[in-house]
Structure 1
């Protein structure tokens, strides 16, 4: 009898211990538990860098964790992009990219990653029109002045751009093709270095987005000759269409990608944070101070646009490389 009571007591204790263990087991942690890294595959001082500084200053309100910028330029953006493609698919390493690097490069390079298979879009933040700019002391007062000199001196003028087949290279090549111009396309590791090359006199002109133009234009350091877009970006500056350049030229989409395989709940948390960011009053004010628009898209919406871009850019590369 005593033996049976002991066995029964031990069984009860074992069950109680098991229940206690289950009770004390830590709950699954909710994402994010630590700071999120935002990789920019471009150099410092360009429009992506400037936009990212605003994004990362405000989005912790909605993520409840810091977001840290990591600049990883190199190989026309492939170095930083590959870093994110190879990162753990846990939401802690994201890519801040643009449409040319994302969907066009696959047609001109053998990439170490598959842009469609290795990433999923989280959100588009905005898109921006590029402008053609020169130094304030440049002899070119208008876009027509630049074109006239380029035709008079074929192969002598140079345009600094943010990397081969990037956000400035492509529209510059399209403009040259349309107008029958021959100019030197000089690559730099991002829009910031390309701007510095212009200011130091190493190039005759470059292209830039509003966030990189505002302070320099206000200070009288640069002159804007023409801008992409259906409407004038600056009251006294013509659109590309007004100076005879037609077509979908000079737009850059800025968006966030995560490694493929990132869990759905993590994607949802990130997507919700960027959706809230787009209407945050501080974010809206700071982006306005850069002269940048806010044009959000959800990840699935931007994925549809990516697929359209892939088709359009394949045709564009065929056109540009067949000349």
Structure 2
């Protein structure tokens, strides 16, 4: 497990102001009552875990696995709700306008929160507007075709794409998302031109594949086991084969250095006091150590991650550099 460094900071003037007005922490949790920080009495009421994607996708599955344990650790009910749209952009835009008290936190994904503000004029937020609390899992990209497809291997896929430039469609979850950039990476590395078709989430992308509306899906590793014999996984974007998916070859072993996917965590508005952020981060770290959750992650091909607030920023900067390099070469950066 990666070590989590303490996100050390003093609430300072923010806490003083909250204490003076009595509006901190949503229900008395803010301010410096009794000399403590804003998190001393947080939380004192129900929390809302908002997902900016459709129900049924990887973010939803993860949140459902976390929900009961998270409520136990925080001592309050945790309600899950959904605000899909724009590959997550609608929700993240609204998050920037929510009260910065910690009572509403939202699922946030890399590379989505990097790519959308970088490439869309209408994203409605900037990466820095979201204060990342914790990154708790990742899912590598995986290229899937219907089980009855003539495509058996990655070489078959590339050959078909070269024979019909621009004609093959690859669906995925969201615009300017991990699935989207994974498709761009494959186009770049293999010298092909397939058309990426975005859906509002995995929950809508999968039916499009099974219904024959797209030729393939750039999805995530959990879909391989969830869809079973309905699909054929022709490549997964990891350095080595995943222990839970030993029969699925990697892009790397098939001659293409494509190693990428989505990192999932939660974020809050940027003005949320640091000690409340840390209390939430501590809760997610504790949940990530629950044996039942760890087993469930492994069984569903999620990769357990532990990035606290500072580490999440570092990872974001690292991935941003990779994506900027690719998109600049593809002349896609405005």
- TM-score, normalised with respect to structure 1: 0.85
Question: 274-283 or 69-78: which moved more?
Answer: 69-78
**3-state DSSP class of the match of 2:206?**
helix
Which one of the candidate residues 92, 100, 115 is aligned to 2:127? 115
Shift of 1:316: 2.5
User: Is 1:67 paired with 2:70?
Assistant: no
Aligned equivalents of 1:71 and 1:255: distance in 2? 15
Shift of 1:173: 1.0
Which one of the candidate residues 175, 179, 186 is aligned to 1:168? 179
* Contact persistence 2:53–2:85 (CA under 8 A): yes
Shift of 1:133: 0.6
2:141 maps to 130
Question: 118-127 or 80-89: which moved more?
Answer: 118-127
* Contact persistence 1:50–1:211 (CA under 8 A): no
Superposition map of 1:6-155 within 5 A: 30-110=41-121, 111-116=123-128, 118-155=129-166
Q: Please tell me the root mean square deviation across aligned C-alpha atoms, in Å.
A: 1.9
Question: 156-165 or 307-316: which moved more?
Answer: 307-316
Aligned equivalents of 1:280 and 1:214: distance in 2? 22
- TM-score, normalised with respect to structure 2: 0.83
**3-state DSSP class of the match of 1:274?**
helix
Structure 2: runs of 5 or more not aligned: 1-27, 34-39
Which one of the candidate residues 268, 290, 301 is aligned to 2:311? 301
User: Is 1:266 paired with 2:315?
Assistant: no
Aligned equivalents of 2:176 and 2:170: distance in 1? 14
Aligned equivalents of 2:69 and 2:207: distance in 1? 28
User: Is 1:289 paired with 2:315?
Assistant: no
Structure 1: runs of 5 or more not aligned: 1-25
Map Cα deviations across residues 41-88 of structure 1 (whole Å, 9 max, x no partner): 222222112112112232112111122222211123211001211100
Map Cα deviations across residues 271-307 of structure 1 (whole Å, 9 max, x no partner): 1101111111121122223121211111111112222
Which one of the candidate residues 213, 228, 232 is aligned to 1:223? 232
2:321 maps to 311
User: Is 1:245 paired with 2:267?
Assistant: no
* Contact persistence 2:51–2:81 (CA under 8 A): yes
Aligned equivalents of 2:308 and 2:332: distance in 1? 36
Aligned equivalents of 1:268 and 1:236: distance in 2? 40
Runs in 1 of length 4+ with deviation above 4 angstroms? Answer: 26-29
Which one of the candidate residues 181, 184, 201 is aligned to 2:195? 184
Map Cα deviations across residues 82-128 of structure 1 (whole Å, 9 max, x no partner): 12111000001112111121112222112322221x22221110222
